[in-house]
C-alpha cells in the first residue's frame, strides 16, 4: 500500500474504526517511533518560537506556537484514544450482574 493509498483510506475511516486501529497499533513497539517523531517536531517548533531573532516577527512566532499547540493536541488525542478502556461488551441475559 502506498502512502497515498493510506491517506485515501484514512479520509474515509469512521472514528470508531480509527480508534480501534490506534489502540491496536499502540501495542506494537514501533508505535514509539510515531510518538518520537511528534516530540521531535514539537521540540523544534518550541525552539523556533523561543528564538530571539523572531521576537519582532509575530507571524513566524504565531506559526511556531500554533504548530506546538497542534502537535500537543495530537499527542493528547492519541493518549486519550490508546488509554481508553475498550467498549463494554453487552451482557447476556444468562450472565449474572456483578
Within a domain: 69:
yes
Neighbours of 45 (CB within 10 A): 20
Within a domain: 73:
yes
Which range of residues forms the domain containing residue 56? 33-83
Within a domain: 22:
no
Within a domain: 74:
yes
Tell me the pTM: 0.73
Q: pLDDT tens across 24-61, in order?
A: 999 999 999 999 999 999 999 999 888 888 778 888 88
Total domains, the chain: 1
**Which string of b and e fits 6-38 if b means at least 16 CB within 10 Å?**
eeeeeeeeeeeeebeebeeebeeeeeeeeeeee
Within a domain: 75:
yes
Residue 65, C-beta contacts closer than 8 angstroms, at least 6 positions apart: 45, 49
Q: pLDDT tens across 78-91, in order?
A: 999 998 865 555 55
- What SS3 state is found at 27? coil
Within a domain: 44:
yes
Within a domain: 18:
no
**pLDDT score, position 95:** 59
Within a domain: 24:
no
Amino acid at each position: 500500500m502506498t502512502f497515498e493509498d493510506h491517506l485515501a483510506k484514512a479520509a474515509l475511516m469512521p472514528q470508531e474504526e480509527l480508534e480501534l486501529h490506534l489502540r491496536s497499533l499502540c501495542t506494537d513497539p514501533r508505535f514509539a517511533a510515531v510518538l518520537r517523531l511528534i516530540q521531535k517536531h514539537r521540540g523544534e517548533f518550541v525552539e523556533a518560537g523561543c528564538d530571539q531573532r523572531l521576537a519582532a516577527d509575530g507571524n513566524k512566532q504565531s506559526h511556531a506556537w500554533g504548530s506546538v499547540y497542534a502537535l500537543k493536541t495530537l499527542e493528547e488525542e492519541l493518549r486519550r484514544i490508546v488509554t481508553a478502556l475498550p467498549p463494554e461488551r453487552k451482557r447476556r441475559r444468562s450472565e449474572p450482574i456483578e
